[in-house]
Amino acid sequence: MALYDQHMHTWFSTDSQTDPADNVRQAIDLGLAGITFTDHLDTHPIEWPECRYNYEGLAKAVSDLRQRFGDRISIGLGIEVCYQPEQMDRILPFLDEHAFDLVILSVHWTQNRALHLPEHWTDWDIATITQAYLGTVLEAVHFVRDLAGQGRRPFDVLGHLDMVKRYTQRYRGGYDITGYADRIDEILRTCLDAGLVPEVNTSTLRQGLTETMPAGWIVRRYAELGGEAMSLGSDAHSPEHIAAGFETAASMLKENGIKQLAVFEQRVCKPCGL
Ligand SMILES: [Zn+2]
Ligand SMILES: [Zn+2]
């Protein structure tokens, strides 16, 4: 499986205990072509400073791992930035001042409520939170498109664009993204305008859902709108989840018209055949 897993977390994120070296060993055993570490940066006052990004720590780990394993696998230094519109004057300078291979922008919060904290949205039903979440994703991609208009490109990939379904499934026992096809279209078109590559995130396949984030119908729509390559990520927080679900996801991508992975090295996209 000569694929790249471009979304994973390690002990440099508060929600993972994983030694980065274990991820590399697992990826080599699986025959992956490359992996990219994308630990969290979340600047919301509730998450800060626990979700601070330890740049020096992870950059040193990646540099050491490249020396040990670089002849067998490509190892990238990335980051998953949580979209926090109030904090962009901190986030953008941080990204400007540090070198990365890949920068993912992900929405985990909507209207000051965290999806992973169900106590934040006890009064919301599936439809309310789904609509709010996709509205925030659209706002995030508009923000990136506006930056692109000023010649700035701080983000490469849009993480798990319909992640709300993972949490409505977990905390409300169901999900519905198909009812928001127009909103999804707007998100995809804006990604294309902004030069932001949507990710296919496979973590839902091991968390009680039968589809990736996003599902095949959204991948097909992206291809119809002119999209050619997408990023693939397991969102592993432990080594056994590296590349989990990738065979399913790779077939799904090809069936829906996406024949290439968007692989990022030093912020440059190098498409790679699936
Ligand atoms: Zn995420
Ligand atoms: Zn993640």
What is the distance in A from the centroid of ligand 1 to the CA of 40? 8
The pLDDT score that the predictor gives to residue 1 is 56
Q: Which residues of 6-35 are buried (b: 16+ CB within 10 A; e: fewer)?
A: bbbbbbbbeebebebeebbbbbeebebebb
Q: What is the pLDDT of residue 164?
A: 98
User: For position 50, what pLDDT does the model report?
Assistant: 82
> How far is Cα 258 from Cα 204, in angstroms, rounded to an integer?
20
Quote the pLDDT of residue 52.
87
What strand order describes the sheet that includes 4-5? 4-5, 34-41, 74-82, 102-106, 157-158, 197-201, 229-233, 260-265, 268-273
CA–centroid distance, 82 to ligand 1, in Å, is 7
pLDDT at 212: 98
In whole angstroms, how far apart are CA 32 and each of 3, 107, 247?
A: 5, 27, 12
Q: Give the helix ranges, DSSP H, for 160-245.
A: 164-172, 181-194, 216-224
pLDDT reported for residue 181: 98
Pairing state between β 260-265 and 229-233: parallel
The CA 52 to ligand 2 mean position distance, Å, reads 14
**R_g of the chain, CA atoms, integer Å:** 17
pLDDT of res. 51: 83
Output the CA 137–ligand 2 centroid distance in Å: 16
Give the DSSP H/E element, type plus range, for residue 148. Answer: helix 126-149
Percent of the chain with pLDDT over 70: 100
pTM of the model: 0.97
Distance 192 CA to ligand 2 centre (A): 22
Coil/strand/helix, residue 260: strand
Name 17's bridge partners: none
Cα(274) to ligand 2 centroid in Å equals: 22
Least distant ligand from the CA of 39: 2
| Residues of the chain below pLDDT 50 | none
Q: Domain 4-273 classified CATH 3.40.1790.10?
A: no
CA distances from 121 to 85, 111, 126, 168 (A): 19, 10, 10, 10
Q: Which residues of 194-215 are buried (b: 16+ CB within 10 A; e: fewer)?
A: bebbbbbbbbbbeeebebbbbb
Please tell me the predicted confidence (pLDDT) of residue 13.
87
Mention every residue, 6+ apart, whose C-beta is less than 8 A from residue 60.
Answer: none
* Cα within 13 Å of Cα(70), Cβ side: 9
pLDDT, residue 31, reads 97
Q: What is the pLDDT of residue 111?
A: 97
* CA–CA dist 237, 59 (Å, integer): 18
Cα 145 to middle of ligand 2, angstroms: 22
Q: Which two tokens stand for residue 6?
A: 């471009």
What are residue 271's DSSP bridge partners? 262
Ranges of each domain in the chain:
4-273
Cβ proximity of 197 and 269 under 8 Å? yes
